[in-house]
Structure 1
């Protein structure tokens, strides 16, 4: 779905400009997104398999919930909205723990470049996996896997064909931050 988003400079600052998401991707303009990593107190992390019809990384495993921040939309409001849309889970601002903002550039092809700043949150998952409702158009499958398995599978991008290829240190930060909360 195309939507109006804010355009950022290469340092992540608002430029005062907006554009449709499709144009930002075509031109390689930086824009803000959210990542919400859900974890359980017994040491599991929720991952989602991207839909088979996605433009980028179809059927690769990815962050629990990710999405674009609408133009002038509050970051936490965007995170809450995306969690509700993608996995049918209602959360509040108090459930979100921001752990950082991470710059990411993926050149998929000449006319599709993701230049994003991921506002990244952790959120404890308190419901069983079967209580979540995936958004059919975005999410192929959901899975809860042990954090140690996730760590091993994303270390050195050994499973580059399985997971979206974020920087290795990004995955390491996610694992480290979840471990701190267990």
Structure 2
């Protein structure tokens, strides 16, 4: 049976459910996804290198975890399922960071981004991911102009840096 995906409005309210093949390939169908940014104690960000078999951004480095929210599934359930499926662990403490709409020529996603701290081990799904590794933030910045990252991750990384910058400013004002 085909994977089914909920088409939503910009607020995340479900409009209808359609097969994945219809939703991917048509940017007029906004659908919800979860992203998890995994950081280690040194502040390095875990990235996954997408399998060459993936239909979107094959062979590109991408956000630690990303996946569709199944019909009827909560954000937290989707996040736990996708993290277990992709990296082989269930995140214990996660923090919601922000949501945004990511659109390109083939899809539109309402992205809910979370963060967790985890050192490993990782048992990644070799059908979906060819490699995982922690990257220092500076190394990501230096490589952003190359073609090694997914377009989605490039946008996600900039939003993440902006979020952290605002958070640091607020903490300085309070402290």
- TM bucket (normalised to shorter chain) is 0.7 to 0.9
- Could you tell me which residue of structure 2 aligns to residue 23 of structure 1? 22
* Counterparts in 2 of 1:167 and 1:84: CA distance versus 1, 3 Å: closer
- 1:114, 1:79 → 2: CA distance? 20
Q: Provide the rounded CA distance (Å) in 2 between the counterparts of 1:40 and 1:167.
A: 18
TM-score by length of 2: 0.85
Q: Could you tell me which residue of structure 2 aligns to residue 122 of structure 1?
A: 115
Q: Counterpart of 1:27 in 2: which secondary structure?
A: coil
Structure 1: give runs of 5+ residues left out of the alignment. Answer: 108-112
Deviation by residue 1:51-87 (Cα, 9 ceiling, x = unmatched): 0111111000000010000011101110111000001
Change (3 A) 1:84 1:153: same
Among 138, 148, 166, which residue is 1:162 paired with?
148
Q: Aligned with 1:137: secondary structure?
A: coil
Once the two structures are TM-superposed, the CA of residue 174 in structure 1 deviates from its matched residue by: 1.5
Higher relative strand content: 1
Unaligned ranges ≥5, structure 2:
169-175
**Is residue 51–residue 140 contact of structure 1 (8 Å, CA) maintained in 2?**
yes
- State the alpha-carbon separation in 2 of the partners of residues 167 and 64 from structure 1: 9
RMSD over aligned Cα atoms? 2.1
Aligned length: 166
Name whichever of 145-154 and 69-78 sits farther off. Answer: 145-154
Alpha-carbon distance, 1:126 to partner: 3.1
Maintained 8 Å contact 1:39/1:178: no
> What TM-score results when the alignment is normalised by the length of structure 1?
0.82
- Counterparts of 2:47 and 2:14, CA distance in 1: 33
Equivalences for residues 88-127 of structure 1 within 5 A = 88-92=88-92, 95-107=93-105, 113-127=106-120
Compute the displacement of 1:172 (Å): 2.1
